[in-house]
Amino acid sequence: MMDAAWWGQMALVAAVAGAGGFVLGRAARLRVLPAGETPVAVPAPFLRELAARAVPLDLSLAPAGDCVSAAPAEHLGESLGRCVPLSLGPDGLLCELLDAAMAEPAAPELIAPGARVTCHFAPQRLDGRRVNAFTTVIAAVDAVADPPRLLLAAPSEVMAIPRRRHKRKRVSDQRFVRVRLWLAEAGASGVYFPDAPPDIWVNAYDGRHGEDNAITDISAGGLALEVRAALLPPGLAPGSPVVLKCSLFQFREKQFKPYWYAGLVRGVGAVQGSGGTQQGGLTRVAVGFTHVGVADLSAPQGVAWTAHGQNAIQGEGS
């Protein structure tokens, strides 16, 4: 647990943020209404404007609805990566893929023409409402193009859909968090994690420029890393199982406390700097948690695993 001073600071921040949120909320009611569950008809000029401004779209698998092609239930909500709309034509919205998540997916059939997807974008205003997503169908995929391209059927409605189930927190000070990542599967790989060197180090220096790596954000559902491309282990791709040891600094005890997680890689892509150029040879790796672990030296992997969400997350002793 954090010390009293830390919680005092957080309380002050929450109070200030709450007051600001109240003021902003009152102003918002005068100008913008959230779309909520009620869809808003989308005019063609709105989609053309998204393409003209190259607003990124984050894609995830959606329930089939009336669509003929239905994704397996276990894949619903799975991230397919990010794309940028280029133009709106009579056949739909032509998009260019920004990362390899869809160019080399773990299950190619999930992105075949006919797959139903939800596309999230930065909040926009339409007819006095704030919207951030639409659901549509993949009309075509051109994996031969470089970069690959995707044709989305033009949606008829947009709406406001919660973007994340877990609130994400930016990691502003790298000194207080360390991450070790293994390209391995919890409960299946023949690795004894407490003694095995990781495949990726973050803020736990390994003498191979690992100090350039960073953890950018974290939530109860996953985290995102920035890793020097030359240090990525071979085979790391969307869908890859991974194991992580996240050590957080405890100010009261004046030491790092380790937490074990297992999960799947949700996305791998170049870190974009200003102007859309790749930043410093870094690659962004997004991971979604599937299991929580507790150190158990008698277990085959040195960690006992529980499906994420079944029990409260708790750290193991140092």
Q: Is the predicted pLDDT of residue 296 greater than 50, yes or no?
A: yes
Inter-residue long-range contacts of 251-257, CB under 8 Å, 24+ positions, other chains counted: 251/2, 251/3, 251/5, 251/6, 252/1, 252/2, 252/3, 255/318, 256/178, 256/318, 257/315, 257/317, 257/318
**Residue 280 pLDDT:** 62
**pLDDT exceeds cutoff 80 at 299:** yes
Residue 272 belongs to what H/E stretch? strand 255-272
Contact status, residue 200 vs residue 189, Cβ threshold 8 Å: no
Strand 33-34 and strand 40-41: the pairing is: unpaired
pLDDT of residue 71: 47
Average pLDDT over residues 91-108: 64
Return the amino acid letter for 2.
M
The residues with which 295 forms a beta bridge, in sequence order, are 303
Quick count: other Cβ atoms within 10 Å of Cβ 268?
21
- The 3-state DSSP class for residue 137 equals strand
* DSSP 8-state secondary structure symbol assigned to residue 318: -
The continuous run of DSSP H or E covering 293 comes out as strand 278-295
> Rounded distance, CA 121 to CA 189, Å?
37
What per-residue confidence (pLDDT) applies to 236? Answer: 92
> Tens digit of pLDDT for each residue in 23-66?
323 323 333 334 445 677 888 999 999 999 999 898 887 776 54
As a whole number, the mean pLDDT across the chain is 75
The residue type found at 196 is: A
Q: Which of 106, 299, 289, 286 is nearest to 187 (CA)?
A: 299
Nearest Cα neighbor of 180 from 225, 116, 117 is: 225
Question: Taking Cα atoms as reference points, which of 190, 183, 188, 121 lies closest to residue 158?
Answer: 121
High-pLDDT (> 90) share of the chain, %: 31
